[in-house]
Structure 1
Amino acid sequence: MAVSEAMRMLEAPLPILSFLFGVLSVLTPCVLPVIPVIGSYAARTGRFVPLALVSGFSISFVAMGILASAFGQILQPLGDLLRYGAGGIMILMGVYILIEEYLPPEVLSGLSLSRVLGGLSSKVGAEINGIGGGVLLGVTLGIVWIPCIGPILGSILAMVAVEAKLLYGSFLLILYSAGMAIPFLIIAYGSNLAVKRVKALSSHLPLISRLSGVILIAAGIYFGMMG
């Protein structure tokens, strides 16, 4: 029974979406620009500090997944209505990403906050040393980045809430964290060439953002139709 459950977890499209959502979260305007700063500092501080840092933000995301699963268990009697609602949330988040650049400044006040927090996170990184400090900074980043990665993170948490299984929810958030961690570690342990490529990629962020919106909408439609 345990083996069949594990196979179901791996074969479903949700693990793939979770990992993809993690990668897309890295490619957001207030996350990607600060990664070279934080990553290079972490690597200089200690050989294993970048690993400690990604472990820290993974802890934050998995904790959110556990809370979402617990919340989903409470709402599980709603059945298909909960699934349709989660699909609707994903579609709305995708639409928001697509129209974000056309919204008036007062609606986007949270974006300036996310930039401030992103700058703050890089300063915090300059004051924390060691593996324990790396974990602490990672946990902090997991919270600090919420205003920026909210649409994507909110979508995966909606999926987790519908599944309403603590183990499976944790598994999906681990994959989401891996999607963020792998690019981060490549940059942290990479050469100056990797940093230059990040800077070059930054010029394509608007296109990547629109692609993220389309993926969220498609995932929301698919998720809402799942039986």
Structure 2
Amino acid sequence: MELLFAYGAGLLTLINPCVLPVLPIVLATALQASRYGPVVLAAGMSLSFVILGLGVTLFGRSLGLTEGDITSASAVLMIAFGLVLLVPKFSAAFSTATAGVAARADTGLDQVDRSTLRGQFLGGMLLGAVWSPCVGPTLGGAIGLASQGKSVLWAGAIMVFFALGVSTVILALGYGARSALQRRQALMRRIAVSARPIMGAVFIVVGLVLFFNIHHIIEAWLIDVMPNWLLDLSVSL
């Protein structure tokens, strides 16, 4: 479930008011460089998000924080980002605070030679880093899930699934819907506005479940009611 949640967060990440206007230009440049440009761009951006997520997770653990501390902090982070998505006043304040992110991304990309696949990969990594504050709610939710994982490997898997969600959007738009996106930016913005409160509510619910350890209660209940064959199968997986 956590992996699916991270993938869903990745899908919603780029449908963002400060990212969406720039995305068609970025994808057009990628396709001009090579037919594989969007793939390399997605790979660079994915690597940037995975490194950021694992970096935050490992930093927290290096401070000597216990698993309970990390879980509580992650839950609070998810609730906070959920409120940003759910409450229009908080969302407007967040959008204002990140209004210059897209402009900085344009400036940074201008300094990279994107006519080659290497340049597209570096450009993707740069966009992943620069857009991080702008896509904070969904990225923060994925990092929150990763941070409360029991192992670095599981945290990495969560961030990889988040990156796969981002890559799915890039590849779909790059190879199938870039022109449609350019014509229907208003529609995409309306979809983003409609999806934000739903995602915000999900973040808040998951954050509350983690903060109050309700997931352990649910896990214990499932162990009691699940048939032995299904329990053995879930353990073997």
TM-score, structure 1 normalization: 0.81
User: 2:83 matched to 1:95?
Assistant: yes
Q: Which residue is 2:226 aligned to? A: none
Within 5 A, what are the aligned runs for 1:74-153? 74=62, 78-99=66-87, 101-102=88-89, 109-120=96-107, 123=110, 127-153=113-139
Larger radius of gyration: 2
The RMSD of aligned alpha carbons is 2.6
| Contact persistence 1:83–1:162 (CA under 8 A) | yes
Q: Which residue is 1:220 aligned to? A: 207
Shift of 1:64: 1.5
| Contact persistence 1:71–1:161 (CA under 8 A) | no
CA distance in structure 1 between the partners assigned to 2:156 and 2:91 by the alignment: 37
Aligned match for 1:157, one of 120, 127, 143 = 143
Q: Deviations over 1:84-123 (max 9, x none)?
A: 2211210111112223x42598775422222423444665
| Contact persistence 2:16–2:189 (CA under 8 A) | no
Task: Kindly provide the amino acid, as one letter, of the partner of residue 168 in structure 1.
Answer: W
**Which piece of structure 1 moves more, 131-140 or 74-83?**
74-83
In structure 2, the CA distance between the partners of 1:83 and 1:119, relative to structure 1 (3 Å rule), is same
In structure 2, the CA distance between the partners of 1:161 and 1:78, relative to structure 1 (3 Å rule), is same
| Contact persistence 1:69–1:165 (CA under 8 A) | no
In structure 2, the CA distance between the partners of 1:211 and 1:33, relative to structure 1 (3 Å rule), is farther
Shift of 1:69: 3.2
CA distance in structure 2 between the partners assigned to 1:179 and 1:189 by the alignment: 16
Q: Which residue is 2:6 aligned to? A: 18
How many residues get paired?
A: 213
CA distance in structure 2 between the partners assigned to 1:151 and 1:175 by the alignment: 16
In structure 2, the CA distance between the partners of 1:36 and 1:151, relative to structure 1 (3 Å rule), is same
User: 2:30 matched to 1:42?
Assistant: yes
Shift of 1:223: 3.0
Task: Note the residue ranges of structure 2 that are not aligned, 5 or more in a row.
Answer: 217-237
CA distance in structure 2 between the partners assigned to 1:120 and 1:109 by the alignment: 19
| Contact persistence 1:68–1:158 (CA under 8 A) | no
| Contact persistence 2:33–2:117 (CA under 8 A) | no
Task: Note the residue ranges of structure 1 that are not aligned, 5 or more in a row.
Answer: 1-12
| Contact persistence 2:46–2:163 (CA under 8 A) | yes
TM-score, structure 2 normalization: 0.78
| Contact persistence 1:62–1:174 (CA under 8 A) | yes
Within 5 A, what are the aligned runs for 1:164-179? 164-179=150-165
SS of residue in 1 equivalent to 2:18: coil
| Contact persistence 1:42–1:50 (CA under 8 A) | yes
Shift of 1:141: 0.4
| Contact persistence 2:149–2:155 (CA under 8 A) | yes
Asked which structure has the greater RCO (Cα within 8 Å, sep 6+), the reply is: 1
CA distance in structure 1 between the partners assigned to 2:150 and 2:48 by the alignment: 18
In structure 2, the CA distance between the partners of 1:124 and 1:189, relative to structure 1 (3 Å rule), is farther
Going by fraction, where is helix more abundant, 1 or 2?
Answer: 1
Identity of aligned residues (%): 23
